[in-house]
């Protein structure tokens, strides 16, 4: 979750209009709440199923987003995100 916060701080939002900025802030607040609820699920199986369901809902039919999510998951699985010299 800290990664999302770090990205939001590092990003340059000059080209985002006020309405989109408000929407982005609301999405960020809701996602924080959602992830806290997800972490509090006692069943590991439910947590996994819910996380996969969220990913599926976010990706839907967007092939580009599917590719990016797949690459990100591969990087996480192989531990590349910890290597600062690695460029995805």
Which pTM does this prediction carry?
0.60
Cα 75 from Cα 87, distance rounded (Å) = 10
Instruction: Name the pLDDT band for 19 (thresholds 50, 70, 90).
Output: confident
User: pLDDT (tens digit, 9 = 90+) per residue, 24-37?
Assistant: 999 999 999 999 99
Element (H, E) at 77: helix 63-78
Average pLDDT over every residue of 36-61 = 92
| DSSP conformation letters of 25-65 | HHHHHHHHHHHHHHHT-S-HHHHHHHHHHHHHHHHTT-HHH
- Exposed / middle / buried, residue 54 (Cβ in 10 Å: 0-12, 13-18, 19+): middle
pLDDT of residue 72: 87
């Amino acid at each position: 979750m800290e990664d999302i916060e770090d990205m939001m701080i590092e990003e340059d939002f000059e080209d985002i209009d006020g309405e989109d900025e408000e929407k982005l802030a609301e999405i960020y607040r809701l996602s924080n709440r959602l992830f806290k609820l997800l972490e509090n699920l006692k069943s590991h199986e439910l947590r996994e199923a819910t996380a996969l369901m969220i990913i599926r809902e976010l990706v839907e039919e967007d092939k580009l987003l599917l590719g990016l999510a797949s690459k990100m998951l591969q990087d996480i699985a192989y531990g590349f995100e910890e290597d600062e010299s690695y460029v995805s």
